[in-house]
Amino acid sequence: MRKKLGNLSNLTRLRMLCELRRLGTMGEVAEVLMMTHSAVSQQLAQLEKEVGYRLVEKAGRGVRLNDRGELLADYAAKMLALADEAQAALKDRRDVAGLLKVATFQSALVGLIPTLVKILDRDYPELSVEFVQFDVADGIAELLSHRVDVVIGEELPFAPTTDSPSLHREDLYAEPMVLACPKGSTWFAAEDFAELESVPFLLNPAGTVAGYWERNFCLAQGFVPTVLVESPDPLLQLNLVSQGVGVALIPSLVLRSERGPLPGVDVYHLPGDPERVLFTAVRIGRENHPAIKALRRALHVARL
């Protein structure tokens, strides 16, 4: 006898199924959804009862989705995206108001956000924006967990891609990465990057997108950099460069945040003229939300 497919209208339970696939453990799902482990387990058991099939199976000490669970999670992701799309469509296009939480990284906060805030205050006074600093990978995780609405991210050569079928990505622009040296230093006199093998570098932490790129860029030039200071703060890096402490690989956006010539710093092009791409990402289905479209428009104006 064929089983009757039950009610699939409970989006919260469907989201739990998608989160279990993404995160891998009941505990992490419970943390993201701010529920107890037992509550998540009960809700997933109720979902299994509704559809008439087992969706989860044991895997060691934990659980994982079985074939039917994976299939339903595929459809659940589409249903959740469609729900977001419907919510965005119901919003009046002129209704640019409310609060957007934006995850972004430090150099964007330093170089882009001051101008962006002025544009938003001028053009969309009813829209409030809260910026939270994250590395890009952590920001994407916050976005997928529904804890932020938008990610302003960066993508660099050599670095792992942040693309996901659950995300709508829109590239903002590409900008050159440059070398910052102490003014008048002979370290880069011949403008041969290999000369810097014994020079102290001021780099981002190895676990960040920027830190991963910096180290791999040096490796591609034939040497392992000597790291003197690890910090994600580009202004600290520039300050130390100006004092003759070392050299740094800096995004052009940070230089734009300073007024006039940088005191004590010479700036050089890098071999191959590497670039980083700045982008925004939102969850699929939310890209037409009036507030998100307004933020993206303002970002394009801010970078000019």
Clarify whether residues 164 and 290 are in a common domain. yes
Clarify whether residues 167 and 284 are in a common domain. yes
Phi and psi at 154, nearest 5°, equal -135, 150
Domain presence at residue 40: yes
Clarify whether residues 121 and 68 are in a common domain. no
Clarify whether residues 258 and 186 are in a common domain. yes
Domain presence at residue 211: yes
Here the CATH number for the domain that contains residue 78 is: 1.10.10.10
Clarify whether residues 203 and 239 are in a common domain. yes
Clarify whether residues 179 and 147 are in a common domain. no
Range of the domain at 144: 98-172+278-303
Domain count, the chain: 3
> 189: buried, middle or exposed (CB in 10 Å: 19+, 13-18, 0-12)?
exposed
- For residue 1, the model assigns a pLDDT of 37
- Which residue, 73, 90, 107, sits at the end of a domain? 90
Domain presence at residue 4: no
- For residue 5, the model assigns a pLDDT of 53
Clarify whether residues 40 and 182 are in a common domain. no
Domain presence at residue 1: no
Task: List per-residue pLDDT tens for the chain, 304 residues long.
Answer: 345 555 666 888 888 888 888 888 888 888 888 888 888 888 888 898 888 889 988 888 788 899 998 899 888 888 888 888 887 777 665 678 899 999 998 888 888 888 999 999 999 999 999 999 998 888 999 999 899 999 999 898 877 667 778 899 999 999 999 999 999 888 887 678 988 999 999 999 998 888 999 999 999 999 999 999 999 898 899 999 999 999 999 998 888 654 545 788 999 999 999 999 999 999 999 999 999 999 999 999 987 6
Query: Distance between CA 28 and CA 184 in Å, rounded?
Result: 52
- Which residue, 90, 122, 142, sits at the end of a domain? 90
Clarify whether residues 108 and 62 are in a common domain. no
Clarify whether residues 56 and 72 are in a common domain. yes
Clarify whether residues 110 and 250 are in a common domain. no
Domain presence at residue 83: yes
Clarify whether residues 46 and 63 are in a common domain. yes
User: What's the sign of the alpha-carbon dihedral 21, 22, 23, 29?
Assistant: negative
- Which residue, 26, 59, 90, sits at the end of a domain? 90
Domain presence at residue 3: no
Domain presence at residue 188: yes
- For residue 168, the model assigns a pLDDT of 94
Clarify whether residues 230 and 85 are in a common domain. no
Residues contacting residue 142 through CB under 8 Å, at least 6 positions apart: 103, 132, 134, 148, 151
Here the CATH number for the domain that contains residue 237 is: 3.40.190.10
Domain presence at residue 5: no
